[in-house]
Structure 1
Amino acid sequence: MSAYLALLRGRPHYRTIWAAELVSITGDWFSLVAVSILAASASPDKGGLALATVLAAHLLPQALLAPVAGWLADRFDRRALLVGGNFVEGLLTLGMVAAAAGGSVGLVQLLLFLRSGVSALREPTTGAALPNVVDKSELATANALGASTWSVTFIVGMTLGGVATEIGPVLALAIDAGTFFLASAMLLRLPRLAPASTGSQSNDRGLAGVLATVLADLVVALRAAKKPALRAAVFGKVPMAITAGVAWVALNESSRTVPFAGGAAATLGALQAVRGIGTGVGPLLARDLLARGLRGGLVGHAAIVTAFAGTLGMSTFGGPIMSLACSFAWGLGGGALWVITQTEIQERSDDDMRGRVLALDALSFTVAMSFGAFAAGLCLDVGLGIAPAAAGLLAGAAMLWMWIRAEPTSAPAGHLA
């Protein structure tokens, strides 16, 4: 704990980024609960696909625009991108408030889709800026603190978001809009965070030039990520993402069918909050095990097996206790694997292309998670059931994990290898 407090005290610019994320991400979960409940209520006969559509609207724009976000993060002031991005997200969320108040669920989904496109800036820009505000030796601590903070915001946001949505989805969305504006104001205190200059910047001309550069940069990032030192880190999240998509549908379905907390929204918030506790414990546990000399490969295997077990249990067994326990296991495994792979990427990629590699990481994760959710949702709606769907999809994810890990990397002990 002392290392985290020392980091916050000694790195004021990191502290500003951390605090702004604390505010804006807490609000994000208010929206996610509200839109999930709105969509499921509007399409009761197609609940699985409706839930998958919410997740897709939340994730796919980030996947599609992740390469552009990486290009921006490597060429423009990262402070300006973070400030402007949060402000625009606040404006779009105000539009969601108006649409929800008018009963237009479709417009809410469209605005969520657009907002998610803007939020694609956040992860690669923040990740690329992190090595500019902390020492390299502090990256693992900063990432562990960030992941655990995400978990705290997830717990608080999902719990309060569930309560607010029970009162009314419009209230939950309005609170979310306010958090974006507050975060934007907080980030104004940062200095300019310009990336190291690259020779390719002067060659960008107009939209066509930007798109051509983005595609070329994505190819460069893909080639870099295929190298042994980065492959396991960048693509190791894909099996976890498929698992997360299945778990998302299973958790929402459990909230709808067994609303043990009083209502579907409050139950969803409670289950997601327990998952958040797991994602908070996971990074801290992983960091502690690595610090004790345990190989990162072993920790990574344990993390994904834990997430698999939680997802399968959530899909198979009913009841509040089992649902809560499995939600925790899902979060525990996912949080542990995230901090291992994220630190690997930041340590092993050059500053002038770190944003692009992180964008590729986000692209692969979001596409895989959306695929898992749509596959599970379709199985649910055609009557196959969530348990058989989960078993089949997790078997595929396990084989993919072993394939990604087939070739040993040159990572040193203590890292994912």
Structure 2
Amino acid sequence: MIAACFGVDPVSPKASTHFIGFDFAQAFTDKMKGRLPGLGLNIMWIAGFSYYMDKIGASKALVKACVRPLSAIRSPYVLLAVTYVIGQFMALFINSAVGLGLLLMASIYPLLIALGVSKTSAAAVIGSTCCLDLGPSSSNAMRAADLLNTDVVTYFVQNQIPVAVCVIAVVAVGHFFVQRWFDRRDAAAGAAEAAGPAEKRDVSKAFEGAGPGWYAVLPMVPLVLLIVFSPMVYKGVKLSLQTAIILSILLAFVVDLVTHRQVKEAILRTKSVFEGMGKVFTSTVSLICCAELFALGMTKVGGITTMIQAAASMESAGVWLMLLVMIAIMVIATLVTGSGNAAFFAFSPLLPEAAASVGMNAAVLAVPVQLSAGIARTMCPIAGVTIAVSSIAGISPFQLVRRTIPVMVLALITNIAASAVFL
């Protein structure tokens, strides 16, 4: 509306309703039309698959399989570091930060407390296990792949993995030293935390409803299919993400039917696919469309374009300034909204223009900016995963983010450096 006051139309002449009052609604209609058939449906299918995996107990089976080796580690801070690495791996298949956080709080958290880790340190590590939005199931990764005109599997393998490996190593080591330092400081100040009744619960209860051990493979099926039938491995078969998800659901249904031999119950459990699709539409897809409408307005007003042009005019320094400006915008937007998805979808349309203005490879800008959204979410006290994990641990969200911010600052620095080296 502000842009319209200065004579900038909300939509293009071809899409105009010929009445500016209706054109504002038309702009949102255009965003919904552009998102729902492609990226929006991808996100909804992924969410439906995740809900189905949870319904049949496959998600808990995966967590149970990954958690079991951790019980052999006796050093509490080594266990913290390894917990983060395993949690980040599980995030490839359990794409809900809140859902994974709750599973880990029910399973790994009591083990960490039993080994003498403070509840704040344990919660901080668990709250940061999804700090990197990685893999084909990440909506931010799908959007970044679109911007780079590549498929999401290629983007994941060639662009995300080299940077992510460096960031994961730094975050794991960072948690080891940062959480140990905080615990020692609190102990010296007489603020050592004692494990309460909630921390002494039976860990086995966390896995009630988990499927048989072989169910742990089911959440991994879509990723395996997408990698095998991608341009990098086998070009003879073209497999879209949506088709891979549908095939994986059908396979899981057959496995569930053969395992339990209850036809009616197995069929009823598949309803969770569509329930999950509906829930993620209201919570994520609609938010993405609103964020993109906001970005459209910001672009038409011209403020961010002015910043991009200013960075582009600084010749050799412009490349680095552009990268820092875009990451700063992403971090601030995520901290304010509590959502890495909303922030990235709002400002990601600016990335190709920003990269071209300084003669920069678009991947060098897109990858660190995309990953920084998830990193910033881990520093935000109003993020859903922060609130969920801190409430279970019995601490305030601000206590949790005080432990995550130093580690995430290291992650941001590593993210930028690794992108400059590998991309």
User: Smaller-chain TM-score range?
Assistant: 0.3 to 0.5
Whichever structure has more helix as a proportion of its residues is 1
TM-score, normalised to structure 1, is 0.34
TM-score (norm 2): 0.33
